[in-house]
């Protein structure tokens, strides 16, 4: 019988969790514990790190996990690398549920940065009003560009004020709507949106809002990850689980 460990934290992971619950398969969704009130799930959840590759490999063995599905975020590079290595060590089939990178469409005005540091470099120059749609984890890096006024959006209220001299903080969790993000960009007179190429639907509203308002976007490219078995639709993962299970049965293991 399949026993799936789903590394969650994304819209796609939650969609897969719903399919797994409906299938009746044994499955566990794992959160890192980065937010105070993660979305409730229709399958059991666990919260917290595993303790690196060795901790995850030990978890896979101790819990007789038959399939590891990495449905974390394209920027969760450490977790994703650990998942590949731990699955190899534990001999557990591994697949990724992710979303294609966003591509610009007519009306988009995008420039690119290779990573967070590249985005900081790109913000040299006269003061602007910048929506920094990166969450909480990378805000400190932008203290190197204190001349701008930053609109920040966090999932949870921070314990300490963000270390940026000029900022407005909005506490909100997505998925976001185009109407709300358009209103947000207009109300704060934003003239540049900085974001990660997260892909998917949950964070895309700000791109459509920027396009509608004729605003430029500084798009941070995804970290390069190793070649993996990747799916873009939750239903494809269920097919993979069935095949991998039947494949195992054919081998009589
Ligand atoms: C803890 C679980 C679901 C999943 C919803 C998606 C969409 C809404 C949009 C913006 C961009 C950002 C951020 C974002 C979005 C979804 C998805 C997504 C971006 C939750 C969640 C967890 C996290 C962690 C959090 C990070 C932060 C990133 C905010 C839950 C709500 C900016 C990524 O305060 C912190 O430490 C937050 C950290 C990692 C990135 C960062 O660097 O700060 N996500 N987000 C997961 C865990 O503990 O394992 O609380 O329910 C999930 C979602 N956030 O099931 O509905 O699928 O991506 N999340 C980005 O895309 O750039 C916001 O404001 O426009
Ligand atoms: P990360 O930097 O790649 O991972 C750092 C460490 O956090 C991992 O080594 C692992 O700790 C722990 N971890 C990460 N995801 C985990 C999970 N799903 N379950 C258990 N432990 C986890 O990860 P991150 O970028 O901080 O992302 C953390 C969570 O937020 C993930 O669930 C991700 O899907 C979600 N998220 C991230 C972003 C983003 O922009 N990065 C956006 C949306 C959602 P150990 O080494 O101790 O095992």
Q: What is the pLDDT of residue 227?
A: 87
C-alpha dihedral sign at 77, 83, 88, 89? positive
Which residues surround ligand 2 with Cβ inside 6 Å? Answer: 7-10, 30-32, 34, 49-52, 55-56, 72-73, 75-79, 82, 196
Decide: helix, strand or coil at residue 227: coil
- Looking at the predicted structure, is the pLDDT value of residue 75 above 80? yes
Of all protein residues, the one whose alpha carbon is nearest to atom 29 of ligand 1 is 135
The domains found in the chain, sorted by start residue, are 3-100+224-249 (3.40.50.720), 110-220 (3.40.50.720)
Of all protein residues, the one whose alpha carbon is nearest to atom 3 of ligand 2 is 76
Centre of ligand 2 to C-alpha 57, Å, is: 16
Q: What is the pLDDT of residue 245?
A: 62
Which residues surround ligand 1 with Cβ inside 6 Å? Answer: 9-11, 14, 31-35, 38-39, 73, 133-138, 153-156, 173-176, 195-196, 198, 200, 202-203, 206
Of all protein residues, the one whose alpha carbon is nearest to atom 46 of ligand 2 is 52
- Looking at the predicted structure, is the pLDDT value of residue 251 above 90? no
DSSP 1-36: --EEEEE--SHHHHHHHHHHHHHT-EEEEEE-S-SS
Centre of ligand 2 to C-alpha 34, Å, is: 8
Angle between helices 205-213 and 178-187 in degrees, nearest 10:
50
Average pLDDT over residues 102-130: 98
Which of 31, 73, 99 maximizes ligand 1 atoms within 8 Å of its Cβ, making it the mutation to test the pocket? Answer: 73
Centre of ligand 2 to C-alpha 72, Å, is: 7
Centre of ligand 2 to C-alpha 122, Å, is: 26
Average pLDDT over residues 55-77: 98
User: Residue 129's Cα: distance from chain center in Å?
Assistant: 25
Q: What is the pLDDT of residue 246?
A: 52
Of all protein residues, the one whose alpha carbon is nearest to atom 4 of ligand 2 is 79
User: Residue 28's Cα: distance from chain center in Å?
Assistant: 18
Q: How do residues 196-213 score in pLDDT, each as one tens digit?
A: 999 999 999 999 999 999
Q: Given phi > 0 = left and psi -120 to 50 = alpha, else beta, which region is 139?
A: alpha
Q: What is the pLDDT of residue 248?
A: 47
- Looking at the predicted structure, is the pLDDT value of residue 103 above 80? yes
């Amino acid at each position: 019988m399949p026993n799936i460990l789903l590394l969650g934290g994304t819209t796609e992971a939650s969609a897969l969790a719903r399919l797994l619950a409906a299938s009746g398969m044994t499955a566990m969704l794992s959160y890192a514990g980065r937010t105070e009130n993660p979305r409730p799930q229709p399958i059991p959840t666990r919260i917290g790190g595993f303790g690196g590759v060795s901790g995850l490999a030990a978890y896979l063995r101790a819990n007789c996990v038959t399939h590891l599905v990495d449905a974390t975020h394209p920027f969760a590079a450490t977790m994703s690398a650990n998942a590949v290595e731990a699955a190899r060590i534990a001999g557990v089939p591994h697949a990724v549920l992710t979303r294609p990178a966003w591509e610009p469409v007519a009306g988009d005005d995008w420039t690119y940065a290779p990573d967070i540091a590249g985005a900081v470099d790109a913000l040299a120059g006269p003061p602007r009003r910048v929506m920094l749609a990166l969450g909480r984890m990378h805000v400190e890096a932008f203290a190197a560009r204190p001349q701008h006024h930053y609109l920040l959006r966090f999932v949870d209220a921070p314990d300490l004020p963000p270390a940026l001299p000029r900022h407005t903080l909005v506490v909100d969790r997505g998925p976001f709507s185009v109407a709300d993000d358009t209103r947000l960009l207009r109300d704060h007179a934003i003239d540049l949106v900085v974001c990660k190429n997260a892909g998917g639907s949950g964070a895309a509203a700000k791109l459509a809002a920027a396009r509608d308002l004729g605003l430029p976007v500084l798009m941070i490219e995804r970290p390069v990850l190793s070649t993996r078995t990747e799916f873009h639709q939750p239903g494809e993962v269920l097919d993979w689980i069935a095949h991998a299970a039947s494949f195992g049965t054919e081998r009589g293991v």
